[in-house]
Structure 1
Amino acid sequence: MKFDKWYQSGYWDDHFIPYMIVHNDIAVSSVAVCINDICWKDQQKRYVQISTVMTLPEYRNKGLNRYLMEAVLNEWKEECDAIYLLSMILW
């Protein structure tokens, strides 16, 4: 998968961190972290949004996404005020 157009459009910066498992130059499983620094009631907060959760069908049921999710949660649980999952269904 090529990210050039997406990157050039400004969607990939220091607040977007992709976690991927790559096999034969193909991203087969991924989880993305989006860092949201906001001010809430005069207090600075850091919220971590998890999105772009996917695993290609032929790589499912192997624990790949679980591995990525656990890595993300372990890395960010002490670094933010909250972690949440953004979920959408695309038909």
Structure 2
Amino acid sequence: MNAQREVVILIACGSGVCTSGVAKAKMQEVAAEIGVPVNVSTCNISEMNTKIANTDIVCTTMPYNFPPEVTHGINVFPLITGFNASNCINTLKTWMQEIYNA
């Protein structure tokens, strides 16, 4: 484990405030459950492409076609609705652990 490393996560929604803010809180809870330090920021969807450099996990709360350079991109709307949230959470936990332990 790299004690100095934080997993950098970006969450985008339509405004950069509402659903991304809720998803940010959920993401921090998920990371705390597995003991992975994270740095989570939010933005609106139109800003996202200018902010993905040096980001480990890129998340949206709406449908989005991630560019090829985004190797860990996921729609986290299930964290908001609860529908299919366990699959989303499991994917996020796996990615967080892989990135943190790399």
Under TM normalisation by the shorter chain, which class is it? Answer: 0.3 to 0.5
Higher helix share: 2
- Structure with bigger RCO (C-alpha 8 Å, 6+ apart): 2
Which TM-score applies when normalising by structure 2?
0.30
Which TM-score applies when normalising by structure 1?
0.32
Larger Rg: 1
